[in-house]
DNA sequence: ACCTGAACACCGTTCAAGT
DNA sequence: ACCTGAACACCGTTCAAGT
């Protein structure tokens, strides 16, 4: 039986860690515990290592990203929604890789696999919105788009971040009116 | 006036750090000091921060790399020498970037600039050796080759390391007999 | 002019004691 | 069933004391 305070602590810890890690990727575990208003022992009870915590944060990031699709499509054009969403996705990928060798290869792979299907679904949804209103070409494959996202991440992690202009090129390419 | 023991300590510290960091990129400063047989204070007298030390190691790496050209050309064919040398260069680039945000952007840029000319000279030397014995095309530009090296580094730092097969493609491309 | 090593504030992590 | 917080071994870094 999981107690209510435990459930609330758990949620507050990830949320706090998400903010703290966004501000400074090197915040200490004790600082996160303090900001979340729990003892260090409680933090470790829920997330037995730094790796486990950052992994949970990444999964929360992805979950929030998936939830954001609806709102983005309501407030922006499909192309702009796709641009904002992809930028956020690349940021999350960078943070995951920021873990460096602290993350076991197996864990990294399994998390990537477990998020593949919902990510494809989100991309599909935005592409279809653009196809419906005629701003995006009908022959764009969601898997291809995700593949290009990998290139964006590599560019963003490179010597100088050229990912925004690259993303601009890609979005031009999938726009209706662009040559096939 | 710089004392003899100071000069020796300095040299032994970088060399020790080079080995220790190669074995484990997260060795502590105190461990390095102990392995080098000096007190932590001495380490910090010569290299006032972790960043300064790793920077010095990187410069030593590059220096050793430049010195190795002669020997590589004696023991291997020009193409093999170029392959081994480029692989080592990409490794050094990866280690430099492994510093992450711990390295100030200015320091990273200035070190890259200061090593540019000698690196070009080394590449030129190996290309010319291959042109002399007829195994490398005569129209290969050293700057172009170095540019491609950047792509290799990005590939090596990516999700799966494809840099060796990419390097193979590049070397095939500059071989005599390959179409222009 | 340089080296030594004890010391400082802090790190990630653990665990006995509580409720 | 869970939380607290003192404690452990260690971290990067400093600095008074020595030679």
3-class secondary structure per residue, chain A: CCCHHHHHHHHHHHHHHHHHHHHCCCCCHHHHHHHHCCCHHHHHHHCCCHHHHHHHHHHHHHHHHHHHHHHHHHHCCHHHHHHHHHHHHHHHHHHHHHCHHHCCHHHHHHHHHHHHHHHHHHHHHHHHHHHHCCCECCCCCHHHHHHHHHHHHHHHCCCCCCHHHHHHHHHHHHEECECC
Indicate if the alpha-carbon torsion angle A112, A114, A116, A119 is positive or negative: negative
Pairwise CA distance, residues A130 & B54, whole Å: 49
- Show the tokens assigned to A55: 């992994």
Q: What per-residue confidence (pLDDT) applies to A155?
A: 77
- Tell me the nearest-neighbour CA distance from A154 into chain B, angstroms: 7
Q: Chain A residue closest to B108 (CA)?
A: A159
Query: Which pLDDT tens digit goes with each residue over A70-108?
Result: 999 999 999 999 999 999 999 888 777 766 555 665 666
pTM: 0.72
Instruction: Show which residues sit with Cβ under 7 A of nucleic chain C.
Output: A 27-31, 33, 39-41, 43-44, 48-50; B 1-3, 5-6, 9, 37-42, 44-46
Give Cβ neighbours of residue A56 (< 8 Å, ≥ 6 apart): A14, A17, A47
Pairwise CA distance, residues B150 & A155, whole Å: 11
Q: How does residue B159 score in pLDDT terms, banded at 50, 70 and 90?
A: low
CATH architecture of the region B49-174: Orthogonal Bundle (1.10)
Query: Which pLDDT tens digit goes with each residue over A23-47?
Result: 888 899 999 999 999 999 999 999 9
Q: How does residue A18 score in pLDDT terms, banded at 50, 70 and 90?
A: very high
Q: What per-residue confidence (pLDDT) applies to B8?
A: 96
Size of interface A-B (CB pairs under 8 A): 17
Contacts of B157 in chain A (CB under 8 A): 154, 157
Q: How does residue B94 score in pLDDT terms, banded at 50, 70 and 90?
A: confident
Does the domain at A1-48 match CATH 3.40.50.1480? Answer given as no
Q: What per-residue confidence (pLDDT) applies to B179?
A: 59
Sequence length of chain B is 180
Q: What per-residue confidence (pLDDT) applies to A153?
A: 84
Is the pLDDT assigned to residue B66 strictly greater than 60?
yes
What is the share, in percent, of chain B residues with pLDDT greater than 70?
A: 91
Mutate to test the interface with B, among A159, A160, A162 (most CBs of B within 10 A): A159
Provide residues of B within 8 Å CB-CB of chain A.
25, 98, 100-101, 150, 154-155, 157-159
Q: Can you spell out the DSSP letters for B49-79?
A: SHHHHHHHHHHHHHHHHHHHHHHHHHHS-HH
Q: Residues B79-101: what's their mean pLDDT? A: 85
Q: Residues B150-170: what's their mean pLDDT? A: 82
Mutate to test the interface with A, among B24, B154, B156 (most CBs of A within 10 A): B154
The bases of strand D with some atom under 7 A from any protein CB are 1-7, 10-16
Query: Which pLDDT tens digit goes with each residue over A122-161?
Result: 999 999 999 999 999 999 999 999 989 888 887 776 667 7
Where do the structural domains in chain A lie, given as residue ranges? 1-48, 49-174
Three-class SS state of B25: coil
Please indicate whether, in this complex, the C-beta atoms of B157 and A159 are within 8 angstroms of each other.
no
User: Who has greater pLDDT, B16 or A177?
Assistant: B16
Which residues sit opposite A176 in a β-bridge?
Answer: A178
Q: Are A118 and A61 in contact (CB under 8 A)?
A: no
Provide residues of A within 8 Å CB-CB of chain B.
25, 98, 100-101, 150, 154-155, 157-159
Lowest mean pLDDT among A42-51, B18-27, B129-138: B18-27
- Rounded to an integer, what is the distance from CA B16 to the centroid of its chain? 17
Interhelix angle B78-98/B163-174, rounded to 10 degrees, is 140
Lowest mean pLDDT among A8-12, A72-76, B164-168: B164-168
Q: Are A66 and A92 in contact (CB under 8 A)?
A: no
Please indicate whether, in this complex, the C-beta atoms of A157 and B157 are within 8 angstroms of each other.
yes
Is the pLDDT assigned to residue B102 strictly greater than 60?
no
């Amino acid at each position: 039986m999981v107690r209510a305070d435990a459930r609330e602590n758990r949620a507050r810890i990830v949320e706090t860690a998400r903010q703290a890690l966004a501000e400074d990727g090197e915040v200490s575990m004790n600082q996160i515990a303090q900001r979340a208003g729990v003892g260090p022992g409680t933090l470790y009870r829920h997330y037995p290592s730094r790796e486990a915590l950052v992994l949970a944060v990444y999964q929360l990031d992805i979950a929030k990203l998936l939830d954001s699709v609806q709102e983005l499509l309501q407030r922006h054009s499909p192309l702009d929604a796709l641009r904002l969403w992809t930028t956020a996705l690349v940021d999350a990928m960078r943070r995951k890789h920021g873990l460096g060798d602290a993350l076991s290869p197996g864990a990294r792979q399994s998390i990537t696999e477990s998020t593949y299907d919902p990510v494809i679904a989100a991309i599909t949804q935005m592409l279809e919105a653009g196809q419906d209103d005629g701003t995006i070409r009908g022959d764009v494959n969601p898997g291809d788009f995700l593949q290009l996202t990998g290139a964006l991440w590599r560019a963003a992690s490179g010597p100088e971040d050229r990912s925004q202009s690259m993303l601009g090129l890609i979005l031009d390419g999938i726009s209706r009116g662009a040559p096939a």
